[in-house]
Amino acid sequence: MTKLTHELSPAELGERLKVARETANVTQDAGAKAAGIARTTLVAIEKGQRSARIDELQALSRYYNVSVNSLLRRESVHVDLVPRFRSLSETGDASIEQAARMLNDLVRAEVELENILGVQRTHNYPPEKSILPGDVRTQAEHDAQNFRNWLGLGEGPVQNLFALMELQLGVRVYSRKLDPKVSGLFAYDDVVGACILINSSHRKDRRIQTGGHELGHFTATRRQPEVYQDEKYENSREERYANAFGRAFLTPARAVMEKFKELTTGSSHLTRRHIILLAHFFSVSRQAMVMRLENLGLTKKGTWDWFKDNGGITDEQARQVLGSAAYDTSSIDTAQSSRLFLLAIDAWKKDLISEGQMSEMLKLGRAQVRELLDEAEAEEDEADDLFKLPH
């Protein structure tokens, strides 16, 4: 799937053209027509049995919405995640197609930067589980606790889920603005590994919940691409497993029980203040916290519905309990990809990519890229020999 060459052979170029065509969701008939050639000729080109002429290459690249340079560039990497998402039931949904392309482009950019810089992504994946017959939620609870033990997390709250996934596990994690109904995507490929894209326009607690859900897919259904949407809530055993895994991983049963006891001792009723403090401690939404309490039998079923019918638990109430400094619903629409950003900045500093290429690779505007580079240069200016790295 990943091709790197100094001079592409007809077979390598043919494979890249095939990946670009499939990513663009174009049939061979349509591609051949756009290039003014017979379908059998395009088939021969994709199989490497015939070299593509430059005019044919230009016509095909325009139709597939890719540049000729990206098809021929030595370091260019061709990733085919998009066609895999088309096999899902959501086929035809433009917002999912757009999100899948975003994930595909970000993965391709990160792998290309790794190749340019000569660095290798290391993984630390736990063995993949399978979903067994029986109560899928019980299995997810057990698997989540084992996973926490494997990571050495104990029973405490997860301080930074996305840093854990990216830096400790080696999962490729990105955050970009997506259609509101799409919370996140997960995909796995033998070459590039596990990849997660989170909707950056969602509030922080919702993004964490999405991350926990995708971690469930990473654990038990790793080789199936997945799109997380609210309206798909628990419509399959795989989704029920992922939701239960995320809840158990972010709010481990024993820790929730202990914190619940600590906070409610002396109280006669569960209050909004209890919910706000618990949700803040575990960095999950108020709804997720109440649902977890219901799930663990710490409050009666229907408690969240009662809150919803009686004014909910508002942001203003949370602000009053936690204070403005502690209360955080951010960061709205903030793109994140820590490792990808570091690689791109390093490549730019070494004059291996331009600012414009960096903008295209990171899927950010030029102003945002300039802001990133200004921050990097400011850090460089204040660097002292004390902080000099040994390599």
Are 171 and 190 in contact by the 8 Å Cβ rule? The answer is: no
DSSP character string of 176-191: E---TTEEEEEEEETT
| Residue of 350, 375, 353 whose CA lies nearest to 362 | 353
Quick one: pLDDT at residue 207?
Answer: 93
Q: What is the tens place of the pLDDT at every residue in 279-337?
A: 999 989 999 999 999 999 999 999 999 999 999 999 999 999 988 766 665 544 465 67
Residue 13's SS3 state is helix
Question: Residue 4: pLDDT band by 50, 70, 90 thresholds?
Answer: very low
Higher pLDDT, 382 or 12: 12
* 118 φ, ψ (degrees, to nearest 5): 70, 30
Question: Residue 1: pLDDT band by 50, 70, 90 thresholds?
Answer: very low
Higher pLDDT, 190 or 143: 143
Q: How many residues does the chain have?
A: 391
Residue 240 has pLDDT above 70, yes or no: yes
Cα 278 to Cα 244: distance, rounded to the nearest angstrom: 18
Residue 45 has pLDDT above 90, yes or no: yes
**Mean pLDDT along residues 260-279:** 93
Instruction: Tell me the whole-structure pTM to 2 decimals.
Output: 0.79
CA-based torsion, 341, 345, 347, 352: positive or negative: positive
**Proportion of the chain above pLDDT 90, given as a percent:** 48
What does the mean pLDDT of the chain come to?
Answer: 86
**Proportion of the chain above pLDDT 70, given as a percent:** 89
**Mean pLDDT along residues 31-60:** 91
Q: What is the tens place of the pLDDT at every residue in 27-41?
A: 999 999 999 999 999
Q: Residue 349: CB partners within 8 Å, gap ≥ 6?
A: 376
Task: Identify whether 331 is preceded by a cis peptide bond (ω within 30 of 0).
Answer: yes
Higher pLDDT, 142 or 79: 142
Question: Residue 83: pLDDT band by 50, 70, 90 thresholds?
Answer: confident
User: What are the C-alpha distances in Å from 115 to residues 2, 119, 190, 246?
Assistant: 11, 6, 17, 33
Dihedral Cα 145, 149, 153, 155, nearest 10 deg: 50
Higher pLDDT, 148 or 118: 148
Cα 199 to Cα 304: distance, rounded to the nearest angstrom: 25
Residue 74 has pLDDT above 60, yes or no: yes
Quick one: pLDDT at residue 3?
Answer: 42
Residue 384 has pLDDT above 70, yes or no: no
Residue 100 has pLDDT above 70, yes or no: yes
